[in-house]
Amino acid sequence: MADQRNSKSPEQDEISRRDFVAMTVAAGIGVAAGATADAQARVTETNVEIKTPDGTCDAAFFHPMTGASPAVIVWPDAFGLRPSMRDIGRRLAAEGYAVLVPNPFYRMAKAPVFESASNFNFQDQAQRAKLTPLMGSINAAGNPEKDAAAFVAWLDSQPQVDRRKKIGTQGYCMGGPLVVRTCASQPGRFGAGASFHGGGLVTKDPDSPHLLVPTMKASFLFAVADNDDKRDPTAKDVLKETFAKAKLPAEIEVYAAQHGWCPPDSAVYDQKLAEKAWSRLLVLFKTALA
């Protein structure tokens, strides 16, 4: 007979899983923050509001306490502007950048809409029903370009931004295609873009993001999740060919990690590979935004 003392109900298993995720997230955030704690102490953080053609976007702005720095726009994933995205903005500012992290869902709600990605259950239809219209609000035709123009105009009016330098932009999950559209919308202003486990970069639609590459002047980093690559193994090859034809530098690598591995509050956060992707981001920005 099995030892009943060690058996767990499904509910207990779920609680244990959530506890493990919570502890992993906390450890990941601690490591990421601790690595640059002294530099982050010299970062200024401000909640700002930016006028756009469709309303007022709430956002977080991070920058070194002194001087003017190259600007970077961070497009969040489907869970929007929240503590973990603020951590990313703060950490990047500690590296010497003026960082804007907008609320991509401002047309529908103020941030944070979600406090953490780790609490989201994709099997919960009610939660999925909440997420779909939020994503639709930023992904509607023309909206990324309108927002990017407003963000650039706002950044270029800030004394903490070095307007002589190109702007960089990075995005996670749904933010990947937004990065491409952003760079294509103002090719003379953007010098670098980075997509971390971005989805829908290469599609059969006439408005597929990859078709915009010939209009850009930006160097790129694509950090691709292993399960995304298995789902669409030709996408990376199309990206490589497209950037090669456009004669634009692009680092495209498949990471042995699951979709969503970079944000520290993700249930599939992989600290080692997230740090590797971060190190490649810093190389890109140092080279392309100089």
Alpha-helical segments (H) within 36-98: 37-40, 83-93
Residue-level pLDDT at 36: 60
The rounded distance, in Å, linking the Cα atoms of 83 and 38 is: 19
Per the CB < 8 A criterion, the answer to whether 198 and 176 are in contact is: yes
Residue-level pLDDT at 27: 45
Residue-level pLDDT at 31: 45
The CATH number for 127's domain is 3.40.50.1820
The rounded distance, in Å, linking the Cα atoms of 81 and 73 is: 12
**In degrees, to the nearest 5, what angle opens at C-alpha 96 toward C-alphas 95 and 101?**
85
Residue-level pLDDT at 52: 98
SS (H, E, C) 204-244: CCCCCHHHHHHHCCCEEEEEEEHHHHHHCCCHHHHHHHHHH
Tokens representing residue 215 in the block: 């209009």
Tell me the per-residue pLDDT of 74-99, one tens digit each, with 9 for 90 and over.
Answer: 999 999 999 999 999 999 999 999 99
pLDDT band at residue 13 under the 50/70/90 scheme: very low
Query: What's the average model confidence in pLDDT over 22-46?
Result: 63
Q: Is residue 2 part of a domain?
A: no
Tokens representing residue 204 in the block: 């059969």
Q: Is residue 133 part of a domain?
A: yes
- Ramachandran region, residue 98 (left: φ > 0; alpha: ψ -120 to 50; beta: rest): beta
Q: Is residue 247 part of a domain?
A: yes
Q: What is the DSSP letter of 45?
A: E
Q: Is residue 61 part of a domain?
A: yes
Q: Is residue 190 part of a domain?
A: yes
Query: Is the pLDDT reported for residue 257 higher than 60?
Result: yes
Query: Is the pLDDT reported for residue 63 higher than 80?
Result: yes
Counting every residue, how long is the chain? 290
In this structure, what are the phi and psi dihedrals at residue 33, rounded to the nearest 5 degrees? Answer: -70, -40
Query: Is the pLDDT reported for residue 170 higher than 60?
Result: yes
Query: What's the average model confidence in pLDDT over 151-158?
Result: 98
Per cent of the chain over pLDDT 90 is 81
Task: State the average pLDDT for the chain.
Answer: 90
Tokens representing residue 122 in the block: 């994709």
Into how many domains does the chain fold? 1
Residue-level pLDDT at 21: 41
Q: Is residue 167 part of a domain?
A: yes
Per the CB < 8 A criterion, the answer to whether 245 and 214 are in contact is: yes
Of the candidates 223, 147, 148, 240, the residue with the CA atom closest to the CA atom of residue 187: 148
Tell me the per-residue pLDDT of 225-253, one tens digit each, with 9 for 90 and over.
Answer: 999 999 999 999 999 999 999 999 999 99
Q: Can you give the residue range of the structural domain that contains 188?
A: 13-288
**In this predicted model, which residue has the larger pLDDT, 216 or 35?**
216
Query: Is the pLDDT reported for residue 194 higher than 60?
Result: yes
Query: Is the pLDDT reported for residue 34 higher than 70?
Result: no
Per the CB < 8 A criterion, the answer to whether 62 and 89 are in contact is: yes
**Which of 12-21, 126-135, 155-164 has the weakest average pLDDT?**
12-21
